[in-house]
Amino acid sequence: MNERLTCQGCGVELQTEDPSQIGYIPEKALQRTPTVCQRCFRIKHYNEAASVTMDQGAFLRILSGIGETKALVVHIVDVFDFEGSLIGGLHRFVGANPVLIAVNKLDLLPASLNWNRVKNWVQKQAKEQGLKPVDVIPISAKRGRGFDEMVRALDRYRGGQDIYIVGATNTGKSTLINQLIRRYSDLDLELTVSRYPGTTLDTIHIPLVEGQSIIDTPGIVYPYRLTEIVDAKTVNALLPEKPIKPIVYQLDPEQTLFFGGLARMDFVQGDHQSFTCYVSNAIKIHRTKLERADEVYEKHRGGLLSPPSAEEAAKLEPFLKHTFRIPRGARHDISISGLGWIQVNGMDGALIELHAPKSVRVTLRPSLL
Ligand code: GDP
């Protein structure tokens, strides 16, 4: 494609190379009129939002555009990767507009879980990251759970304005929008071109009956999530489809757990205690002695320690070591963005060293569960 063509639905520059990136159009669809990107085409013809992604700089420009209008901003975060999916500086970009947090993928957590607990935990953690949401609504976009409360909250907080949906990739933004399209069923799905003539916002406006829109923005790519730095097959293994069965290990100090070949936790010092691992059940956990851990990693990564495959293991970033002194008196999680978390159950403190590919965000937090 030589000449610069733009989508007649959302105004984005069209490209025929990468289906996961914004502006993709299959080569043969270039002949169609109106010429619209695949994302616009799918919403218009199948009432279905499709995931597309965008780098941080371009995404922040879209967010700043929201700051110049009056709208409700719905920020979708993934309960399974809270630290990796929260957009920390959101208020700076969206101005005075209210932000509602939708915490998605609650179906992955134990069925006995009290959703209000998650709500309170997210409220507190978000505040620590500088976010002051008007409300936090736990949902499962995939299972359609939490939507009565979600729709009520949208009606309450949007005050007749547009609703922007923002989030990182793979948090379930498209799945959420598809549920909303279904629920606000008398939508007239005529795509509107950006209401800012001359500027490209790369957003899709899905009209609501009263003249406002739900506005789909591309997913922001955060390079510190494990899911962004591994190949598609490993991403599939990392993203759990079914509820996670947490696995509990009783460990003595100087023992190590490997999470496939993707991360390693060394229990360096502390009393015998239990560690509960919340990771996708497709990731095999392997226990060994700390003194043997280096050797085991060298010998078995890509084999016994997989995913990643041997081929991918050779390309994976080197591990960086994070040292954590777990405070006494309360349960804590070590969260590894894109992989999951390890709940440290002892109340008497511990010294932990966590090894993960160097760009992956690893954090200590008060326990979610
Ligand atoms: P987007 O990139 O944010 O638009 O995310 P998608 O809607 O494409 O979803 C990304 C992945 O998360 C897909 O594999 C979905 O099946 C999965 N997903 C989305 N919502 C949920 C949910 O509520 N629960 C679970 N378990 N998976 C979900």
Residue 33, class by beta-carbon neighbours within 10 Å (0-12 exposed, 13-18 middle, 19+ buried)? exposed
Q: Alpha carbon 336 to chain centroid distance?
A: 13
> Is pLDDT at 343 greater than 60 in this prediction?
yes
Name the closest-CA residue to atom 15, ligand 1.
172
- Mean of the per-residue pLDDT values for the chain? 90
Residue 3 lies in a domain: no
Taking CA atoms only, the protein residue closest to ligand 1 atom 9 is: 172
Whether 233 is in a domain gets the answer: yes
Query: In angstroms, rounded to a whole number, what is the distance separating the alpha carbons of residues 345 and 325?
Result: 13
The pLDDT score that the predictor gives to residue 171 is 93
Residue 210 has pLDDT above 80, yes or no: no
Does some domain include residue 333?
yes
pLDDT of residue 192 exceeding 90, the answer is no
DSSP conformation letters of 57-90: HHHHHHHHHHHTS-EEEEEEEEGGGHHHH--TTH
Min mean pLDDT across 8-12, 64-68, 352-356 is at: 8-12
* pTM, entire model: 0.91
> Mean per-residue pLDDT for 231-257?
93
pLDDT at 197 (0 to 100): 43
- Same structural domain, 205 and 265: no
Cα separation of 113 and 344, whole Å? 18
Which residue puts its alpha carbon closest to atom 25 of ligand 1? 105
Closest CA to 353 of 313, 314, 318, 326: 326
Do 347 and 238 fall within a single domain?
yes
* Ligand 1 centroid – CA 336 distance (Å): 19
Whether 188 and 251 share a structural domain: no
Q: Report the distance separating Cα 336 and Cα 362, nearest Å.
A: 5
Average pLDDT in the 317-324 region? 97
Cα angle 111, 82, 343; round to 5: 65
Q: Are residues 284 and 314 in the same domain?
A: yes
**Residue 190: pLDDT above 90?**
no
In a domain, 234, yes or no: yes
Residues 106, 146: contact at Cβ < 8 Å? yes
Helix (H) or strand (E) holding 50: none
pLDDT at residue number 195 = 45
**Ligand 1, atom 24: closest residue by C-alpha:** 105
129 and 159 in a single domain? The answer is yes
Statement: residue 198 has pLDDT above 80: no
Task: Flag whether pLDDT at 147 surpasses 60.
Answer: yes
Confirm whether 37 is domain-assigned: no
- pLDDT exceeds 60 at position 88: yes
User: Using 50, 70 and 90 to split pLDDT, how confident is the model at 200?
Assistant: low
Q: Structurally, how many domains does the chain consist of?
A: 2
In testing the pocket of ligand 1, which one of 20, 142, 217 has its CB within 8 Å of the most ligand atoms? 142
- Domain assignment present for residue 27? The answer is no
Last residue of a domain, one of 159, 185, 220: 220
* Residue that terminates a domain, selected from 187, 220, 253: 220
Mean pLDDT of the region 13-30: 92
What pLDDT shows up at residue 305?
Answer: 96
Same structural domain, 209 and 271: no
Counted residue by residue, the chain has a size of 369
Domain assignment of residue 23, yes or no: no
Q: Which helix (H) or strand (E) holds 327?
A: none
Which of 22-31, 124-133, 188-197 shows the lowest per-residue confidence on average (mean pLDDT)? 188-197
Domain boundary among 220, 254, 287: 220
What is the tens place of the pLDDT at every residue in 222-240? 889 999 999 889 999 999 8
Same domain (yes/no): 90, 187: yes
CATH number at residue 64: 3.40.50.300
Which of 198, 182, 194, 354 lies closest to 265 in space, CA to CA?
354
Regarding whether 174 and 94 lie in a shared domain, the answer is yes
Residues contacting ligand 1 via CB (< 6 Å): 51, 104-105, 107-108, 140-142, 167, 169-175, 219, 239, 241
Is the Cβ–Cβ distance between 85 and 167 less than 8 Å?
yes
Relative to the CA of 242, which ligand 1 atom is closest? Answer: 26
Report the amino acid identity of residue 363.
T
257 in a structural domain: yes
Look up the domain containing 339 and give its range.
229-366
Residue 32 pLDDT:
87
For 50-79, what is each residue's pLDDT tens digit? 888 888 888 888 888 899 899 999 999 999
Output the pLDDT for position 184.
73
Q: Does pLDDT of 5 surpass 60?
A: yes
Closest CA to 265 of 283, 248, 290: 290
| 65 and 213 belong to one structural domain | yes
List C-alpha distances in Å: 239 to 86, 173, 180.
17, 15, 23
**pLDDT value at 257 more than 90:** yes
State the pLDDT at residue 47: 78
Q: Which residue's CA is minimally distant from atom 10 of ligand 1?
A: 170
- Both 204 and 264 in a single domain? no
Confidence (pLDDT) at 16: 95
| C-alpha 143 to ligand 1 mean position (Å) | 10
User: In terms of domains, do 155 and 247 share one?
Assistant: no
**Span 32-47, average pLDDT:** 85
Q: Could you tell me if 193 and 263 lie in one domain?
A: no
Q: What is the mean pLDDT of residues 236-260?
A: 94
CA–centroid distance, residue 171 to ligand 1 (Å): 6
Q: In percent, how much of the chain has pLDDT > 90? A: 65
Burial of 275 (0-12, 13-18, 19+ CB in 10 A): buried
Task: Count each helix (H run) and each strand (E run) in the chain, helices first.
Answer: 11, 18
Cross-strand pairs, 135: 100
Contacting residues for 98 by C-beta, under 8 A, at least 6 apart: 72, 73, 134, 157
